[in-house]
Structure 1
Amino acid sequence: MAKPAMSPQAPGVQLQDQVLVARTEGVQFFRRGERVLVIEPQTASWTVMDPASWAVYVRLDRPKPLANLYRDLPDFQPGFVSSVVEQLHRLGMVGLNGRPFHDLDRLWPDHEPLGPRFLALHVTEACNFACAYCYNCSGGVPGATMTLDLGRRILEKAFRELPAPHLSFDFMGGEPLLAFETILKLMAHGRELEQKHQKAASFLMQTNGSLLTPERVRCLRDFQVGVGVSLDGPAEIHDRNRYLLGGRGTHHTVLNNLLRARDQGLRVTPLAVVERPSDYTRVLDYLVGDLGFEFLHLNPCSSLGRARETRPPRPERAEDHHHGFMAMLERAWHHSRKRGRPLVINSLSSMLANLTSKRRDLMCMRSPCGLGDAILSFSVQGEVLACEEYEPSTKGTFCLGQLEDLDLGRLALDSAKVQALRQRRVENIPRCSRCPIRRFCGGGCAHKALAWSGELLREDPMCRFYELTFIELMWKIADEPEIVPALGGCRNASS
């Protein structure tokens, strides 16, 4: 029996002959040849059973003492039978004397004990690009920009009211570098607040890369900013969707700026949005094989904003993305072996981490997610929102109020709106409540579900992608467990 996704090691259970062994309800099975993938959804446990282990499990058709199980399996040594029962107990697939191995309340804590620590500042609604799939939909036109005074008040309030010892500030847009001078002054103020409040702060930014001049790179490097740069692959892929208002491609400018910024010592990470499933491996080969990056983001294109009409979330689209994603995994493993070092593709490594650990560090892949609890975002108008993702149709749902009217440190506990949002849990979403992988994916993105369906208690539009991919990854890990460290699944995935 394969041993992935085991719970934290505990002292061995000394099984007595009279211990009562009973199957856990709701366990689901997937057969391939002589082997069976067994998933216990409540505890996010799984294993691939060989015929001998499966024979033991099948005999537990009703609760019975272990001695009776020995008698039912005369061809098996008692030591083997008891070892299978013990592992099944650790995996949450059987109970012993009516007791499960896991305490679900402790296994899946309800909220962040230190409250929000990821803070997204939407410093401008303006953007100089007009990308085909953007759901900001502001590209190429002027937009409102956050005032320096508002930005300073956000930082001061966060340092004063949030109990977390480390706060992460993410500058977003639109295109945040259109508000570069404001960002610089806010980061300088943040360093002053670190000393005043004896807390640490880190700074992040997601940019289209077109405005990363050498002087700006030096400034960002001095503040140790982690910068994500949108680069969708080689020119023929990137320029298909990421262009200026008149349609001119942007690949040449973005690539040159990205590579120069890396050479200058700036911590840059490429982020690719994959529109066509057949492009996954080409994009990976370009970013890793041609450009030499070892940490990157590859995300399926969302069916929101301008992409709502042209790229709807049809089941076959999700399935095509699954096949492209798994082909990318094989290429990624090839690159990792060739280099002799781990290769981290954030979405993939986070999935691997969820399959091999009970930790759920990535707030977008747990239930409930980080809405209003791990993350807050701030609009150019001073609104406080429960998530960094929103569009006009969803902003009202995620808006918690105006900055000056709220105690940021008490929102997760006192805000009726946050409590309502956090009812989006896998057990409350009809489709998710029946799904075997619900505790691995966490129900997907609340914003995307709401934006597409108009209902918060709905599955992610790419639900089928996650279902197929998590199950296929289980088979893959069972056969070749070395892919987990090779592709970054052993790390503490960052939120």
Structure 2
Amino acid sequence: MIEEKLRRQTRKFKERADYDQQQNAYYLLPFRFHRLDETRDILVNEVGDYLVVSTGTVEKIVSRQITKKSHYDLYADLLSGFFISEQPIPPLIDILATRYRTKKSFLDQFTSLHIFVISLRCEHTCHYCQVSRVTQDKAKYDMAERFIDQGIDLMMQSPNDQVTMEFQGGEALLAFDKIVYAIERTKRLALTYAKQVTYVICTNMAVITREIVDYCLVNTILLSTSLDGPAYVHNQNRKRPGKNSYELTLQGIELARSVLGHDRVSALMTTTSLSLNYPTEIVDEYAAQGFRSIFLRPISPYGFALRNERKNHYETAQFLDFYKKALDRILEYNRQGHFYSEDYATILLRKILTPFPVGYVDLSSPSGSITNAIVFNYDGAVYASDESRMLAEMNDFTFQLGHLDTHSYADIFYGPKTQQLTQAWTNESLPGCSECAFQSYCGADPIHNHATQGDLWGYRPTSTFCQKNMEIIRYLIDLMETDPTVKAIFESWIKPRP
């Protein structure tokens, strides 16, 4: 008896008889599980369907103690949810395969987002800026026209017939003449290559003019700006001469909305150490300014943002506390009848509650770097992602894929640097991720691993990427399972809107 008990506690391969179907009522299909809280576990199958069960149920499932007679509802849920099967190959396995293929269909058309760093010039001195901005009089840091041409030519070679051309800085509008040049050339080539192009300009709104906005209207250009919260937060985070960044941002938003329409202008916030103290106030500020969503974004651990540790460094647990308080405030707005969503939660909820793909770079497997986004720097260097460019500003060129002057499309998108990234850009094959219940909701980020842990693969127990995503996913599911009202609110966030 003692020997038998010890044998069961080992992790050695069991004898074939242990898996004999004659002894068992059903077959196990691939699923993973995670402790939701002290009394509940969550099971997640291969296509992201989840089932919340009482703690201890997993052991009963694996040991074949669940029967139709004694656990009818649970047995039916497990069977219909592709957690178990009464046959070696489930009758509906083709449907399962189709759903898995659909989840990964963001790979079908390859790279869509093409970021052009049109200038490093900027009149702000934000302490969390990840790149080495320069003063606005240094035009030599604008993107040369030959690099613009070469970047557009590569974008036209993308297999994707719907591409996004995004202009970043510095402050992109300080090189507005270069943006106009790029868009006019792209418009001509898009007809030849049958491309549908979405144009986005990232701007702090401080230098925007009516002339610029009118051009955006004619060319259906989206504007993305930064709003970190009320004036006492925004102006501390985003400094500029005159200490009026907040005031100029609101003026620019109002001007752009008056011409382009309300929903053609979006905003992002960055969470600094100061921001952590004002979760409710930041949410209220976005609501007061007429935004129907907010992206609660932690500070990126890249580039020059790391130099100001007092203002920019905080523990993941502190951000999660901030996030939950802010999310609770957003839910309160929804309970009062207002539509107001949190963007990161919405991305995760689409992955949790729908069978459809999500092309968000940070939550893709394979990673969205290269497969979904590429960066053409002002100096002609090509990077795997915006974060890769930030690392290069600190003389880490690990993810520089090539140069527009010297490398072809094949060199950049299929070259040795890309092949190196592919070794660690699928979470299905990463230690710690491969057995994680939240694998299908999360992504792989080898660039984050390299920046924070020193290698592409990373180490999950100490990964801030892992800590943040696991807890947010767990918290969202817990909220839905605890309160049906919250689930209804979350479902409203993922429905298509005009």
Q: TM-score, normalised by structure 1?
A: 0.82
**What is the DSSP-based 3-state SS (H/G/I as helix, E as strand, rest coil) of the residue aligned with 1:471?**
helix
Letter in 2 for 1:113: D
Shift of 1:19: 5.5
Q: Tell me: CA distance 1:208–1:417, structure 2 relative to 1, closer, same or farther (3 Å).
A: same
Report the counterpart of residue 280 of structure 2 in structure 1.
Answer: 281
Contact 2:171-2:204 within 8 A present in 1 as well: yes
Q: Matched residue of 1:372: which SS?
A: helix
Q: 1:61 to 1:257 in 2, by over 3 A?
A: closer
Q: CA deviation at 1:398?
A: 1.9
The reply on whether 1:232 has 2:233 as its aligned counterpart is no
Q: 1:154 to 1:305 in 2, by over 3 A?
A: closer
Give the CA deviation at 1:386. Answer: 1.8
Partner of 2:447: 447
Aligned partners of 2:198 and 2:166: how far apart in 1?
Answer: 9
Q: 1:291 to 1:304 in 2, by over 3 A?
A: same
Contact 1:228 1:268 in 2 (8 A): yes
Quick one: distance in 1 between partners of 2:28 and 2:312?
40
Q: Is the 8 A contact 1:128 1:175 kept in 2?
A: yes
Question: Residue 205 of structure 1 corresponds to which residue in structure 2?
Answer: 201
CA distance in structure 1 between the partners assigned to 2:395 and 2:369 by the alignment: 13
How far is 1:378 from its partner?
A: 0.7
Tell whether the 8 Å contact from 1:28 to 1:38 is kept in structure 2 after alignment.
yes
8 Å CA contact 1:37, 1:475 repeated in 2: no
Q: Using the aligned pairs only, state the percent identity.
A: 19
* Distance change in 2, residues 1:61/1:384 (3 Å): closer
1:183 to 139, 156, 179: 179
**Is this contact kept in 1: 2:228–2:269, CA < 8 A?**
yes
Q: Note the 1:24-63 alignment, pairs <5 A.
A: 24=30, 26-33=32-39, 36-40=40-44, 42-49=46-53, 59-63=60-64
Mapped partners of 1:118, 1:491: distance in 2: 23
Ranges in structure 1 where 5+ consecutive residues have no aligned partner? 1-16
Equivalent position of 1:10 in the other structure: none
Q: Is the 8 A contact 1:303 1:313 kept in 2?
A: no
Cα displacement string for residues 18-64 of structure 1 (whole angstroms, at most 9, x for unaligned residues)? 9624375643333444xx23133754332223x6xx78765434247
Q: CA deviation at 1:471?
A: 0.3
Indicate the residue corresponding to 1:355 in structure 2: 352
Q: Distance in 1 between matches of 2:62 and 2:158?
A: 52
- Residue 120 (structure 1) aligns with: 115
In structure 2, distance between residues paired with 1:410 and 1:322: 40
Query: Displacement of 1:373 after TM fit?
Result: 1.5
Q: Name the structure 1 match of 2:456.
A: 456
Who is 2:475 aligned against? Answer: 472
Superposition CA RMSD, Å:
3.3
**Paired letter, 2:442:** C
CA, structure 1 residues 394+224, in 2 after alignment: closer, same or farther (shift >3 Å)? farther
**What's the offset of the Cα at 1:299?**
0.9
Per-residue deviation, 1:201: 0.9
SS in 1 for 2:295: strand
Q: 1:87 to 1:411 in 2, by over 3 A?
A: farther
Which residue of the partner structure matches residue 409 of structure 2? 408
Partner residue of 2:5? none
Q: Residue 41 of structure 1 contacts residue 435 of structure 1 at CA under 8 Å; is this kept in 2?
A: no
User: In the TM superposition, what is the alpha-carbon distance from 1:152 to its structure 2 partner?
Assistant: 2.5
Asked if 2 retains the 8 angstrom alpha-carbon contact of 1:123 and 1:379, the reply is yes
Asked if 1:368 is matched to 2:366, the reply is yes
Partners of 1:121 and 1:46 lie apart in 2 by: 40
1:419 aligns with 2:414: no
Match status 1:252 vs 2:252 = no
Q: In 2 relative to 1, CA 335–394 (structure 1 residues): closer, same or farther, beyond 3 Å? A: farther
Identify which range, 231-240 or 415-424, moves more after superposition: 415-424
Q: Which residue of the partner structure matches residue 152 of structure 2?
A: 155
- Matching residue's letter, 2:41: L
Report matched runs for 1:120-139 at 5 Å. 120-139=115-134
The alpha-carbon deviation at position 481 of structure 1 amounts to 4.5
Give the conservation status (yes or no) of the 8 Å contact 1:123–1:179.
Answer: yes
CA distance in 1, matches of 2:411, 2:482: 47
2:246 partner amino acid: H
5+ residue gaps in structure 2?
1-22
Equivalent position to 2:494, from 479, 490, 495 = 490
SS of 1:264's equivalent in the other structure is: helix
Q: Residue 316 of structure 1: CA displacement?
A: 7.3
Name the counterpart of 2:239.
Answer: 243
Q: Residues 394 and 193 of structure 1: is their aligned pair in 2 closer, same or farther, counting only changes over 3 Å?
A: same
Aligned length: 456
Q: In 2 relative to 1, CA 60–466 (structure 1 residues): closer, same or farther, beyond 3 Å?
A: closer
Match of 2:8 in 1: none
Task: Determine the structure 1 residue equivalent to 2:28.
Answer: 22
Paired letter, 1:271: L
1:157-206 per-residue CA deviation (whole Å, 9 max, x = no partner) reads 422x2222211100011111111011012112222222222221110121
- 2:199 matched to 1:195? no
SS in 1 for 2:260: coil
Query: Any idea what the Cα deviations from partners look like across 1:343-401, whole Å, max 9, x if unmatched?
Result: 23321211221221243312321212212122221112222222132222476222222
Decide whether aligned partners of structure 1 residues 227 and 436 sit closer, same or farther in structure 2, where only a CA change above 3 A counts.
same
When you count helix as a share of all residues, which structure comes out higher?
A: 2
1:166 matched to 2:162? The reply is yes
Aligned to 2:3: none
- The CA distance in 2 between the partners of 1:320 and 1:465, in whole Å, is 10
Q: Are the counterparts in 2 of residues 134 and 304 from structure 1 also a CA contact under 8 Å?
A: no
Contact 2:31 / 2:46 at 8 angstroms: preserved in 1? Answer: no
1:308 CA displacement:
1.8
TM-score when normalising by structure 2: 0.81
How far off is 1:482 after superposition? Answer: 4.7
Question: Within 2, Cα distance between the matches of 1:61 and 1:264?
Answer: 61
Cα distance 1:138–1:110, how it changes in 2: closer, same or farther (>3 A)? same
CA distance in structure 1 between the partners assigned to 2:254 and 2:47 by the alignment = 44
Which segment drifts farther, 315-324 or 279-288? 315-324
